[in-house]
Structure 1
Amino acid sequence: MNLGLQGKTALITGGSKGIGLHTAIVLAEEGANVVIFARGEDELGCAAVQIKEQTGKEALVVIGDVTSAEDVERAVRQTVETFGRLDILVNNAGTSAAAPFQSVELDKWQQDLDLKLFGAIRFSRAALPYLRQRGGAIVNVTASGAKTPGASSLPTSVSRAAGMALTKAMSRDLAADGIRVNTVGIGLIRSHQIEAKWKQSAPDSSWETFARDPGHRIPLGRIGDADEAARVIAFLVSDAASYVTGTSVNIDGGLAASL
């Protein structure tokens, strides 16, 4: 299937590792120009090398923080100055923070919302003038568990649920400009955080054994790979999904309790 991504430009936040990096690789394989944005200079450098080795394309690396309006504006400006356009935004930056309500201090609430919700808002606002020029696509990376939050899931479940509401409202507001906005609800996907849990809880077992532990209660029987999430995101930002907007796609092996 031709995804229609050749020559388009995509900016991916949290693009130095995990889902963000794999999304950049898949989009580059499909012919898109990719911009990876994250805080860690060394990790971004390694990511750019990996993209080049796997796809033959040079990624634009931008160091910055999604909580800084100045960094966000600079990233969008550098993207347009380098490639002349911006067609795709993947708001992926964020980490999991899960604890009981009574143990989450107010400053942790503020930090989580600023990173995950307002980070997406800042980048979407900055990208909007350029997305409007040709139409475009935004994917907000959220969490499938935020649809039916469980105990000890705060503040992440709240910030991710807000990201889902943001997605739906934006899709209605921006449809007239030809901009599609969707979200992917991530479940257990291999990441640095998941790998740290594996090494801490089951240091003598292989990744394959840990990933397929029945205790995860994943209907498909295993933790997913970042590449599997990346390919769904690539579809949603592509021409192949030209009539898809305002929706949420779970990438969680069937773990979520709701659609």
Structure 2
Amino acid sequence: MELGLNEKVAIITGSSKGIGYYTAMQLVKEGVNVVLCARGEKQLQVAADYIKNETGKEVLIVPTDITKEKDCQRLIEQTITHYGRLDIVVNNAGTASANPFESVSSELWQADLDLKVFGAIHCTKYAIPHMRKVGGGAIVNVTAVMAKTPPASSLPTTVSRAAGLALTKAMSKDLGKDNIRVNAVCIGLIRSDQIEKKWKKEASQLSWEEYSQQVGQTIPLGRVGDTQEAANVITFLVSEAASYVTGTTVNIDGGAGHAL
């Protein structure tokens, strides 16, 4: 399948590791010029070096705190200065913060919304004019399956992630006329640093495959998802293969979600 991504330019937030990093690697392999951004410059450089070693292609790194609007604006400006265009934004940056309602401080509410909601808003806001100049673009907001069916003690994450879903749908309606597609992915149990640390601490005698199956017993596909599997779906959504897909949400959860 031809994805039509060669020579396009993509920004991926939170791309020094995890889903963001794997998505960056996959897009580079498809011929995309990629901008990595996260707060830590050292980890960004490590990620950039890995990508170059694997693909032979250099990426641009821009240390960015997306909770600050001026940083988001600078991220877009440096991308345009370096590559001259912008086609794709993957709003991936975020952390898991799950607590009972009464234990969440006002400061934690604000920090979570600044990172997961306003970070996406500001990055997208400054990207849109440049997407219009090249005739369109693709935006993917990375959220969580729990946003659709929030369990107890899941705050503030589920609220900010649910806001991301509403943002996705509303933006898709506004930007469709500009050929800018906006979609979201809802992440379930995917291999991460946190899960790997738990595996090595609690069940190091098991192989990853054995541990994945043990942890994933309640998941219809019977295992923890691989990070690459999430990256593959995001790559499809930003590609020309998904040219008639906008305003939708794709669960990457092995069938675990309870909502349509």
Matched, 1:188 2:192: no
SS of the equivalent of 2:62 reads strand
Matched, 1:257 2:258: yes
Contact 2:216 2:223 in 1 (8 A): no
Distance 1:114 1:63 in 2: 17
Distance 1:181 1:219 in 2: 28
Q: Deviations over 1:222-241 (max 9, x none)?
A: 11111100010000000000
Q: Deviations over 1:90-123 (max 9, x none)?
A: 0000011111112211211111111001110010
Distance 1:258 1:194 in 2: 24
Instruction: Give 1:40 shift.
Output: 1.0
Instruction: Give 1:169 shift.
Output: 0.1
Q: Deviations over 1:29-84 (max 9, x none)?
A: 00110000001111101100111122221110000111111211111111111111
2:243 match = 242
Matched, 1:166 2:167: yes
Mark the runs of 5 or more structure 2 residues left unpaired by the alignment. none
Distance 1:61 1:114 in 2: 22
Mark the runs of 5 or more structure 1 residues left unpaired by the alignment. none
Instruction: Give 1:214 shift.
Output: 4.9
2:145 match = 144
Partner amino acid, structure 2, of 1:15: S
Quick check: 10-19 or 53-62, which moved more? 53-62
Distance 2:2 2:82 in 1: 25
Q: Deviations over 1:136-173 (max 9, x none)?
A: 00000000121011111111111000000000000000
Distance 1:138 1:214 in 2: 32
1:89 match = 89
Distance 1:95 1:214 in 2: 21
Alignment of 1:51-70 (within 5 A): 51-70=51-70
1:127 match = 127
Distance 1:215 1:102 in 2: 30
SS of the equivalent of 1:139 reads strand
SS of the equivalent of 1:76 reads helix
Distance 1:212 1:76 in 2: 41
Contact 2:183 2:237 in 1 (8 A): yes
Percent of aligned positions with the same letter in both sequences?
62
1:102 match = 102
Instruction: Give 1:197 shift.
Output: 2.8
Aligned alpha-carbon RMSD (Å): 1.2
SS of the equivalent of 1:12 reads strand
Distance 1:230 1:130 in 2: 24
Distance 1:248 1:149 in 2: 16
Alignment of 1:68-79 (within 5 A): 68-79=68-79
SS of the equivalent of 1:245 reads coil
SS of the equivalent of 1:212 reads helix
Distance 1:193 1:102 in 2: 25
2:43 match = 43
SS of the equivalent of 1:213 reads helix
State the number of aligned residues: 259
SS of the equivalent of 1:130 reads helix
Taking structure 1 as the reference length, the TM-score comes to 0.97
SS of the equivalent of 1:34 reads strand
Contact 2:91 2:120 in 1 (8 A): yes
Instruction: Give 1:215 shift.
Output: 5.8
2:157 match = 156
Distance 1:155 1:221 in 2: 28
Instruction: Give 1:15 shift.
Output: 0.7
